[in-house]
Structures are given as C-alpha cells and as structure tokens.
Amino acid sequence: MGALSDQPYWWEEAPPRRLGHHPPARSDVVIIGGGYTGLNAALTLRRAGVGVTVLEAGDFGEGASTRNAGHVSSGVNLGKSAAQSNVRSPLEQSLPAGVFQSLRDEAAASFDFIEARLRELPDDAQYRRSGRVVCASLPVHFAAMRQKSVSMTRDGVRLFPRDQQRAAIGSDLFHGVMTIDRAGQLHPAKYLHALVDRTLAEGAVLCDNHRVTSIKREGTGWRLDAGAARVSCDKVLIATNGYCDGLLPWLRRRVIPAASYIVVTDDLPAGMIDTMLPEGRTAVDTKRLLSYFRPTPDRRRLLFGGRASLNARDPRQIAPELARRLHAVFPVTRGIAMRHAWSGQIAFTFDLLPHLGAHEGVAYALGCNGSGVAMQSFLGHRAGQGLAGGETSPFWNLGFPTMPFYRETPWFLPAMTGWYRMRDAIDRLTGR
C-alpha cells in the first residue's frame, strides 16, 4: 500500500523546471509569470522578432499550469454562472448580442489555437481530441442543456436522457448528459515543458525563482525589481492568474484567487476505466461546487477534481470529500485508494470573464475562472500579438469590475463555499 502524495500526479513524469538563468539588464518586453499565459505570449512575441524575458517566482511549472486536470475545452461556457454551467449567464443577458457573440467566437478560437500550437511543439503532451461529457446534476439542468445545445452546432453535441446516458458514462447518478466532440485532454505538465523548450529554442530568456516585487516607470519604459535583479524594458505583461500577489493593487482588487483540488486513484482493475468512461471523454457535472474527472493518459487510473472548498486547505484533508463524490458517481471505486491529492490556484473575476488589457500602460492577461488550458494559452498569444503591435482581441480592455471592500484578501471565500454548498443541497432537495 503506497502513501497519499500531496504532489501532482503529473509531476512524476514532468516536475517543475529550474533553469537557473540570470535576467538581462534590458529586454524589449518582460513577462511576469511563467505558466501557459506567459509562455504563449513569449513565444508569439519572439516570432514577431521582439526580445522577451520571462520572470517566474518559482520554478517553471509551479503554478496552475502543471496542477490542472488537463481538460481542453472549447470556450462554450464563456461567462458561465458559477452556479450552473448550463444556463444563460448573467453576462450573456447583460451584453449586446453582437459583443457577446464576438467574445464567444474568440473563446471558441482558443480551441483551434491550442490544437495548432500543440502540433508545433516538440512534445504533443499526449493530447487527444477525446470530447467531453457534461453530466446534469438535476433534471432542470438537463432541460437547460437541451435548450443550449441548439446554439452549439459547431461543437458536435449529442444529448442522452437518463435512460441512455450509460453510452457516455457508466453512472446512474445524473439526470441525462450532453456530449461535446470539440474538446480534448492532455498531460498538463508535459505541455508546460514543451512550451518552455520551444520558447527557449526561439530565443526568449526564461528566469525562474525571480519574483517581481516592483514595477516603476523609467522614461517611456519600465524598471522591474526581482530580488537582486533589476530589468529595464519597454513593455510589461502580467500573467500571474490565481497566483496574483500585491504587485499591482489595481489588478489584485479585480482577481479572486481560489483553490481547486484533485485526487488520483491507485491503479484500477483492468478494464474498469472503460466501463466508467466508455468513450474516454473528460467529464464535468453541473453543480455550483462542481466536480470534474477523466482517465489518466495511460487509462490505468481516474483523476477526480472539484471545488470542494474555495479557500486554500491541506489537499489531504479535502481528499475524503473528493473520494465520497467519486464513490457517488462510480460506486464501483469504493475500496480503491487515492494515491495523489493536490491543489492549485485558479482566478475568479467578478464578471466570470477572463481579462486582457492594460492599466496605466501595464498589460495583463488573466482571470481563467477555472478553465484556462486553452483560453489562457490563447489570451497569452493574443497579448503577445498586441504587444508586438499586431492584432488585438475583442477581450482587450473590456471593463474589468471589482467590488467595494475587496482589497487583497478574499474574505468572502469561506462564506461563498458555504453558500454554494447550501444552494447545491437545496437544489438537490427541491429538484431545481
């Protein structure tokens, strides 16, 4: 019997990277944060002939980009309500139809972008266009899916009522499911490594263990302090997502770092994974404190994640709750031990949209709201294009809301977790 590790399963094959490079005194652009956003921006900038330095506070791959579940989605849930991913979001209701559609098109383009980028990286990160299954936690969610599927023709959508859902998922817990073909899965840490390798090969300077502590105006450009290092540059991009610190208080007041947790089972008995996920899709339910799951790339284990608590806790304490949720979906897994339990930080925003833009001359690309493998990669690329003087995105400088009394501490997260938990329970009891 092995022990429960608090390290991401992905790090067994692709642990965070320490390169040990020193920052130059000057660079055309400095990118703060070395995850998918920062590295995709760096690669695009290099290809436009721009000099780039990436300053990363930890080793490369310590952030969410090697801690996630590796679901690659096509942006269909853009601006989704944190409560229910299958209803028309408040955002959709508040924006003019044309603007919302252009954001949706841009989000959908993130899927084509990541597939193309993966093809040009030195490692395909075990990417598979596997499709996704969205599992209705309540009958009303399935009814909403039915409505929503009408506008999802390009995504390859099929609906399975409860009595037919076993074609897509070996569980009777749900009230029908929707499968989406335009979705995939990858090994998140191998993707990060491949980005590091390609970005280095194309001439970017990547410096780990350099936390930027100040950004100051210097002539028409900027001066950044990172420990003993000082770098001057023309342009800066902040790509720190759920690991935002107090570097730019204006930004910190608009981003809500929150935790998400994952467990990975021990090896499953031969063939079990095929009965659980017969089509090998990624899966997600429709609760407010949602769960998501998928096979590991070798199909020997199941990865099961969820928003069990929005604030940071010891993942080993959260593991029993995730195990209970897993057993409810697949009772056959009772008695199978968990081998990994870890957490990572995502970034919520008050309008549930990712944001790309500039504040007083400092550019930013962040706010994944839990879904950023494709989208943050794409927004990093779009930020790179923008900084190189090229095409911009409909996301550029959309209003970026905050909330009164929110400074740096997301004091409302414990209450939010409790509130979501209670609303999920009430919905379950009332069938709504």
Ligand X SMILES: Cc1cc2nc3c(=O)[nH]c(=O)nc-3n(C[C@H](O)[C@H](O)[C@H](O)COP(=O)(O)OP(=O)(O)OC[C@H]3O[C@@H](n4cnc5c(N)ncnc54)[C@H](O)[C@@H]3O)c2cc1C
Min CB(429)–ligand X separation in Å? 29
The neighbour count for residue 5, using CB atoms within 10 Å, is 17
Q: Which residue, 312 or 332, has its beta carbon nearer to ligand X?
A: 312
CB of 307 to ligand X, least distance (A): 9
Nearer to ligand X, 140 or 367 (CB): 367
Residue nearer to ligand X on the CB measure, 344 or 386? 344
- What gap in Å lies between CA 232 and CA 282, rounded to an integer? 44
CA R_g for the chain:
21
Q: What is the 3-state secondary structure (H, E, C) of 367-400?
A: CCCCCCCCHHHHHHHHHHHHHCCCCCCCCECCCC
CA distance 153 to 345: 33
Interacting residue ranges for ligand X, rule: CB under 6 A: 32-38, 55-58, 62-65, 67-71, 73, 211-212, 239-243, 245, 247, 260, 262, 305, 344-346, 366, 368, 370-373, 376
CB of 314 to ligand X, least distance (A): 14
Strands (E), 244-384: 255-265, 282-285, 291-295, 302-306, 338-349, 355-359, 362-366
User: Do residues 407 and 68 lie in contact, with contact meaning Cβ atoms separated by under 8 Å?
Assistant: no
Tell me how far, at minimum, the Cβ of 149 lies from ligand X, in Å. 21
Q: 326-350: string of b/e by CB count within 10 Å (b at 16+)? A: beebbeebeebebbbbbbbbbbbbe
Closest CB 97 distance from ligand X, rounded Å: 26
Cα distance between residue 349 and residue 71, in whole Å = 21
User: For residues 290 and 388, which CB has a smaller minimum distance to ligand X in the complex?
Assistant: 290
Quick one: 62 or 285, whose CB is closer to ligand X?
62
Can you tell me the distance from the alpha carbon of 298 to that of 310, in angstroms, rounded to the nearest whole number?
30
- Residue closest to ligand X (Cβ): 372
For residue 132, report the phi and psi dihedrals to the nearest 5 degrees: -140, 150
Which residue, 272 or 379, is less far from ligand X as judged by CB? 379
Give the separation between CA 118 and CA 70, rounded to whole angstroms.
13
Tokens matching residue 187: 């090994």
Cβ-based nearer residue to ligand X, 250 or 426: 250
Our CB check for ligand X shows the closer of 175 and 382 to be 382
Write down the least CB distance from residue 316 to ligand X, Å.
15
Query: What are the start-end ranges of the E strands in 123-176?
Result: 132-135, 157-160
Smallest gap from Cβ 412 to ligand X, in A, equals 19
CB of 284 to ligand X, least distance (A): 9
Residue 140 or 386 having the CB closest to ligand X: 386
Which amino acid is present at 69? A
Cβ count within 10 A of residue 308: 25
CB of 368 to ligand X, least distance (A): 3
Residue 228's CB: how many other CB atoms inside 10 A?
A: 8
